[in-house]
């Protein structure tokens, strides 16, 4: 009997080659014989369960017929969600993402599927099927006709979070793509979205944008707190108590002025997040947040005195952070910066805290520290250590740290970091050992492969 490139044709060929009858195949698969007959004769579409049963009995790999299924049951028909949903789910389970993408895009003209596709994407996220979820979010975002819909904004938010990696170039693009959608989220999601975008933007030195984002976040959070909206659990709640977003806003503004070296203005914002009097009857969770910001306030007051050139404060600063494990790494980054700026000797500090001069994830009593922020701080710490030892005429040690920083700058795609390290190395190239010079040359070649500075000749 003639067979065709269809699922029913392949089933019929299997029956003939194995000398079987429809009834025998029905018993083997557990499918009703009348139903199976209708499927083979093309009068009834296959369900996913039936297709998987038949595929297994035929001894074929799971998903073997999925391309044909798309053509027969999706492209040349109008599938209902009872067939489409299970098919997409099985594609995700088997990592047949090409099939999933093709099937979804064939149905996007029917906008009634968009809510179901979005919910399925949310399910995929919960089940750690992230690649499948991203495909669905992208398809829903492309097809959503209501440009101010919350669902569209949520898709872009999910895409933004999954696009973030330890790459400042791609992170910058992700921020630009997502930022216009923040205001379209509900109020609870808005606060977390602002926080997330701010944290991703900090290593990028987008300070004017960071300040603007922080002000919008802080204003919204303060209004919600004063109106008591944070108590309304029906509309959802952000990940942190509302006061966190207000206090964090003040801290961002503090950092904004600190990077301008306007320490007097920075200290004004320190005072705003150090046990503010507008917070009434704090809960246990809010007290934990208040205590953390209070600790940061004490440490930062020491810091700004040190950055202003007050050498006498260093012992107090050291003793304060030495009993606070979570604050040591950040403090060391700042101390080395201050030492280079004011020509201080801190060998004793570096020796005491040498175990903290390695990269590892950071956290505080509230939550883990953003990984991109930690990587950026560590990259800068290595460069500052290099400068410190170069200034001390310990050239081999200093250049080793500069090369280490260069390697991390390449890893996180920090143009500013790469340029800074190359400038420093070239300035002290004559002091480099053959081993350090070889490492540097290898990293230069790596930079060229990235096409960041393709015009540079190979050294």
Contacts of 90 (CB under 8 A, 6+ apart): 48, 52, 63, 66, 96
Largest Cα–Cα distance of the chain, in whole Å?
96
| Residue 230: predicted pLDDT | 60
Angstrom distance (rounded) from CA 236 to CA 230: 9
Angstrom distance (rounded) from CA 255 to CA 199: 12
Angstrom distance (rounded) from CA 8 to CA 18: 16
- Residues linked to residue 368 through DSSP beta bridges, in sequence order: 363
| DSSP code for 72 | I
| Residue 235: predicted pLDDT | 56
Angstrom distance (rounded) from CA 377 to CA 18: 67
H helical segments located in 393-433? 395-411, 415-427
Residue indicated by tokens 């699922």: 7
Length of the chain: 459
Q: How far apart are the first and last CA of the chain?
A: 70
At 363, phi and psi to the nearest 5?
A: -150, 165
How far is residue 444 from each of residues 359, 421, 455, 459, measured CA to CA in Å?
22, 11, 12, 8
| Residue 57: predicted pLDDT | 92
Q: Tens place of pLDDT for every residue, the chain, 459 residues?
A: 343 578 888 888 899 988 888 899 989 889 998 988 888 887 888 888 999 999 999 999 999 999 998 988 877 666 688 889 999 999 999 999 999 999 999 888 888 889 999 999 999 999 999 999 999 999 999 998 777 889 999 999 999 999 999 999 999 999 999 999 999 999 889 999 999 999 999 999 999 999 999 999 999 999 999 988 665 545 578 999 999 999 999 999 999 999 999 999 999 999 999 999 999 999 999 999 999 999 999 999 999 999 999 999 999 999 999 999 999 999 999 999 999 999 999 999 999 999 999 999 898 888 889 899 999 999 999 999 999 999 999 999 999 999 999 999 999 999 999 999 999 999 999 999 999 999 999 999 999 888 644 444 444
The tokens for 420 are 């800074």
| DSSP code for 368 | B
C-beta of residue 377 within 8 angstroms of C-beta of residue 335 = no
The tokens for 176 are 């630009």
Q: What is the CA radius of gyration of the chain?
A: 30
The tokens for 329 are 């790494």
| Residue 107: predicted pLDDT | 85
- pTM of the entire structure? 0.86
DSSP string, 175-219: HHHHGGGGGGS-HHHHHHHHHHHHHHHGGGT-HHHHHHHHHHHHH
The tokens for 313 are 């404060």
């Amino acid at each position: 009997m003639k067979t065709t490139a269809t699922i029913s044709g392949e089933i019929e060929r299997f029956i003939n080659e194995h000398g079987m009858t429809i009834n025998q195949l029905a018993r083997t698969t557990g499918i009703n014989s009348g139903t199976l007959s209708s499927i083979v004769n093309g009068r009834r579409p296959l369900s996913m369960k039936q297709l998987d049963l038949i595929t297994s009995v035929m001894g074929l790999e799971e998903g073997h017929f999925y391309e044909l299924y798309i053509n027969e049951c999706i492209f040349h028909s109008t599938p209902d969600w009872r067939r489409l949903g299970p098919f997409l789910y099985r594609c995700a389970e088997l990592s047949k993402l090409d099939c999933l993408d093709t099937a979804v895009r064939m149905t996007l003209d029917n906008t009634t599927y968009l809510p179901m596709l979005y919910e399925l994407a949310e399910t995929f996220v919960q089940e750690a099927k992230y690649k499948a979820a991203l495909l669905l979010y992208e398809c829903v975002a492309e097809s959503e006709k209501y440009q101010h819909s919350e669902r569209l904004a949520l898709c872009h938010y999910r895409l933004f979070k999954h696009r973030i990696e330890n790459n400042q170039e791609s992170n910058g693009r992700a921020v630009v793509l997502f930022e216009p959608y923040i205001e379209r989220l509900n109020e609870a999601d808005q606060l977390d979205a602002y926080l997330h975008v701010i944290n991703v933007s900090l290593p990028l030195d987008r300070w004017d944008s960071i300040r603007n984002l922080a002000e919008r976040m802080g204003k919204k959070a303060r209004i919600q707190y004063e109106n008591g909206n944070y108590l309304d659990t029906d509309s959802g709640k952000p990940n942190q108590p509302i006061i966190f977003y207000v206090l964090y806003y003040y801290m961002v503004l503090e950092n904004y002025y600190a990077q301008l070296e306007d320490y007097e203005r920075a200290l004004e914002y320190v005072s705003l997040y150090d046990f503010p009097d507008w917070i009434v009857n704090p809960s246990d969770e809010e007290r934990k947040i208040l205590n953390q910001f209070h600790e940061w306030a004490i440490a930062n007051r020491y810091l700004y005195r040190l950055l202003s050139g007050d050498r006498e404060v260093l012992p107090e600063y050291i003793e304060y952070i030495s009993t606070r494990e979570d604050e040591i790494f950040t403090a060391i980054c700042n101390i080395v910066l201050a030492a280079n700026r004011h020509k201080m000797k801190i060998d004793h500090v570096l020796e005491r805290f040498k175990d903290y001069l390695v990269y590892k994830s950071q956290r505080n009593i509230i939550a883990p520290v953003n990984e991109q922020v930690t990587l950026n701080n560590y990259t800068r710490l290595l460069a500052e250590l290099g400068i410190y030892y170069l200034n001390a005429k310990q050239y081999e040690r200093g250049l080793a740290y500069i090369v280490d920083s260069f390697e991390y700058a390449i890893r996180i795609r920090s143009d500013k970091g790469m340029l800074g390290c190359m400038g420093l190395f070239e300035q002290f190239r004559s002091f480099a050992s053959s081993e350090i010079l070889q490492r540097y040359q290898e990293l230069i070649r790596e930079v060229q492969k990235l096409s960041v500075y393709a015009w540079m000749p190979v050294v």
